[in-house]
A and B are shown apart, each in its own frame.
Chain A
Amino acid sequence: MSLAVPTKSSRREVWRSPVVAVLALVVVIFALIFVVNPTFAAPAPLLALLKKSAPLLILAAGQYFVIVAGELDLSVGALVGAQVVIAARLIDGEDSRVPGVLLLMVAFGVLVGVVNGLVTTVLRVPSIITTLGSLLVLTGAVRFWTGGSPTGSLPDSFRVAGRQGLDVAGVEIPWAVLIVVGIGIGVVTLMRTAFGRVLVAVGDSDTVARFSGVRVAAVRTAAFVLSSVLATVAAVLLGGYAGVTSQVGEGLEFVAITAVVLGGVALGGGVGSPVAAMLGALALDGLYTLFNQWGLPPTMRPAVQGVIIIVAVALAAGPATAALSRLRRPRISAPALTADPVPDGTQPTFQASGRRVPDQMKGQGEPWDEPGS
Chain B
Amino acid sequence: MSDGLTTRADRPSDLRRASLTAGLTSTTIVFLTLLILIVVSAVLLASRGENLFATRNIADILTRASLLGFIAIGQTLVIVCRSLDLSVGYTVATTSLVAATVMVGEVERVWLGVAAALGVAAVIGLLNGMIVGVLGVNPFIATLGTGLVLKAVLDTRYQAPAGSVPQVFEDLGYTRIGPVPIATAAMLAVAAVAWLVLRRTRLGYHMLAVGGNTEVARLSGIHTTRTLVAAHVLCAVAAGLGGLFIAARFGTGSAQVYTLGYDLDSIAAVVLGGTLLLGGRGSIPGTIGGVLILALLDTIFNALSIDPFVKDILSGTIIIAAVALYARRRPPSAALRRRFGRRSIDTAQVATP
Number of interface residues of B (CB under 8 A): 58
For the complex formed, measure the closest distance between the CB of B222 and the CB atoms of chain A, giving whole angstroms.
10
Residues A359 and B348 in contact, CB atoms below 8 Å apart: yes
B346 CB within 8 Å of chain A? no
A9 CB within 8 Å of chain B? no
Tell me which residues from 239 to 262 in chain A have a Cβ below 8 Å from any Cβ of chain B: 254, 257-258, 261
Q: Mark A339-357, 1 if CB is under 8 A from B, else 0.
A: 0000000011000001011
- Least CB separation from A326: chain B residue: B215
Residue from B155, B307, B316, B332 having most chain A Cβ neighbours under 10 A: B316
Give chain A's interface residue range (CB within 8 Å of chain B): 35 or more
Q: Is the interface of B mostly helix, strand, loop or mixed?
A: helix
A4 CB within 8 Å of chain B? no
Residue of B152, B215, B332, B353 near A301 (CB, 8 A) is B152
A125 CB within 8 Å of chain B? yes
CB-CB under 8 A from A128, the residues of chain B are 267, 277
| A357-B277 in contact given A133-B316, A306-B146 (Cβ < 8 Å) | no
Residue of B219, B271, B348 near A347 (CB, 8 A) is B219
Residues B309 and A129 in contact, CB atoms below 8 Å apart: no
Tell me which residues from 196 to 222 in chain B have a Cβ below 8 Å from any Cβ of chain A: 213-216, 218-219, 221
Residues A124 and B155 in contact, CB atoms below 8 Å apart: no
CB-CB under 8 A from A361, the residues of chain B are 213, 215-216
Q: Mark B130-164, 1 if CB is under 8 A from A, else 0.
A: 01000111101110111111011101100000000
Residue of B313, B315, B324, B352 near A125 (CB, 8 A) is B324
Tell me which residues from 327 to 373 in chain A have a Cβ below 8 Å from any Cβ of chain B: 327, 347-348, 354, 356-357, 359-362, 364
For the complex formed, measure the closest distance between the CB of A319 and the CB atoms of chain B, giving whole angstroms.
9
Residues A302 and B152 in contact, CB atoms below 8 Å apart: yes
- Least CB separation from B319: chain A residue: A133
Residues B351 and A126 in contact, CB atoms below 8 Å apart: no
- Least CB separation from A143: chain B residue: B309
A42 CB within 8 Å of chain B? no
Residues A129 and B137 in contact, CB atoms below 8 Å apart: no
- Least CB separation from A363: chain B residue: B215
Residue of B142, B149, B268, B317 near A302 (CB, 8 A) is B149
Residues B145 and A309 in contact, CB atoms below 8 Å apart: yes
Q: Mark B212-238, 1 if CB is under 8 A from A, else 0.
A: 011110110100000000000000000
CB-CB under 8 A from B328, the residues of chain A are 123-124
Residue of A137, A258, A320 near B316 (CB, 8 A) is A137
For the complex formed, measure the closest distance between the CB of A267 and the CB atoms of chain B, giving whole angstroms.
5
Contacts from B to A (Cβ < 8 Å): 5, 131, 135-138, 140-142, 144-149, 151-153, 155-156, 213-216, 218-219, 221, 264, 267-268, 271, 277-278, 307, 309-317, 319-320, 323-324, 327-328, 331-333, 336-337, 348, 351-353
What are 17 contact pairs spanning A and B, CB under 8 A? A124-B331, A125-B327, A126-B278, A129-B319, A133-B319, A137-B312, A137-B313, A140-B314, A302-B149, A313-B141, A323-B214, A347-B221, A357-B215, A359-B213, A360-B336, A364-B213, A364-B214
